[in-house]
Homo-oligomer: A and B are copies of this chain.
Amino acid sequence: MPALRKLTPEPGFTLQEIPVPSIGPSDVLIRVEMAGVCGTDAHIYWWDKWAQNRIHPPLTIGHEFMGRVEAVGAAVKAVSVGERVSAEGHIACGVCLLCRTGEAHICEHVKIIGVDTDGCFATYIAMPEVNVWKLDPAIPDEFAAVFDPLGNAVHTVMAAGVSTKSVAIMGVGSIGLMAIPVARAAGAARVFAIDVNPSKLELASRVGADETFLGTDSNLVDEILKRTNGDGVDVLLEMSGSGAAIDKGLAMVRNGGRAALLGIPSEDININLAERIIFKGLTVLGINGRRMFETWYQTQALVKSGRVDLRAIITHVLPFEQFDRAFELMKSGEAAKIVLDLKGLSSEFLI
**A299 → chain B closest CB, angstroms:** 8
Is the C-beta of A273 less than 8 angstroms from some C-beta in chain B? yes
Q: With A and B bound together, what is the CA distance between A189 and B303 in angstroms?
A: 9
A288–B279 CB distance below 8 A: yes
B78–A75 CB distance below 8 A: no
**A33 → chain B closest CB, angstroms:** 23
Scan residues 245-265 of chain A and give those whose CB is less than 8 A from a CB of chain B: 246, 254-256, 261-262, 264-265
For A163, the chain B residues whose CB sits under 8 A away are 158, 161-163, 186-187, 298
Is the C-beta of A269 less than 8 angstroms from some C-beta in chain B? yes
Query: A35-54: contact bitstring with B at CB < 8 Å (1 yes, 0 no)?
Result: 00000000000000000000
Selected from B130, B231, B262, the residue in CB contact (under 8 A) with A108 is: B231
B98–A256 CB distance below 8 A: yes
With A97-B231, A98-B255, A256-B98 in contact, is A164–B301 under 8 Å at CB? yes
For A278, the chain B residues whose CB sits under 8 A away are 261-262, 264, 286-288
Scan residues 299-318 of chain A and give those whose CB is less than 8 A from a CB of chain B: 301-302, 304-305, 307
Q: With A and B bound together, what is the CA distance between A242 and B97 in angstroms?
A: 30
Query: A270-294: contact bitstring with B at CB < 8 Å (1 yes, 0 no)?
Result: 1111100111111111111001111
For A272, the chain B residues whose CB sits under 8 A away are 265, 267-268
Interface on chain A toward B: helix, strand, loop, or mixed SS?
loop
A286–B297 CB distance below 8 A: no
Scan residues 96-127 of chain A and give those whose CB is less than 8 A from a CB of chain B: 96-98, 100-103, 105-108
A274–B284 CB distance below 8 A: no
Selected from B94, B102, B284, the residue in CB contact (under 8 A) with A102 is: B102
Is the C-beta of A185 less than 8 angstroms from some C-beta in chain B? yes
Selected from B100, B273, B282, B293, the residue in CB contact (under 8 A) with A292 is: B100
Is the C-beta of A58 less than 8 angstroms from some C-beta in chain B? no
A255–B75 CB distance below 8 A: no
B301–A273 CB distance below 8 A: no
A75–B280 CB distance below 8 A: no
For A246, the chain B residues whose CB sits under 8 A away are 273
Selected from B75, B102, B261, the residue in CB contact (under 8 A) with A103 is: B102
Is the C-beta of A200 less than 8 angstroms from some C-beta in chain B? no
B265–A273 CB distance below 8 A: yes
Is the C-beta of A166 less than 8 angstroms from some C-beta in chain B? yes
For A63, the chain B residues whose CB sits under 8 A away are none
Is the C-beta of A95 less than 8 angstroms from some C-beta in chain B? yes
Selected from B165, B188, B281, the residue in CB contact (under 8 A) with A286 is: B281
B269–A270 CB distance below 8 A: yes
**A104 → chain B closest CB, angstroms:** 8
Is the C-beta of A25 less than 8 angstroms from some C-beta in chain B? yes
Besides the contacts A25-B25, A265-B273, A281-B288, what 9 more A-B pairs have beta carbons closer than 8 Å? A77-B94, A162-B187, A163-B163, A189-B307, A190-B305, A261-B278, A269-B271, A282-B286, A284-B286
Top 4 A-B pairs, shortest CB-CB distance: A102-B102, A187-B187, A189-B301, A277-B286
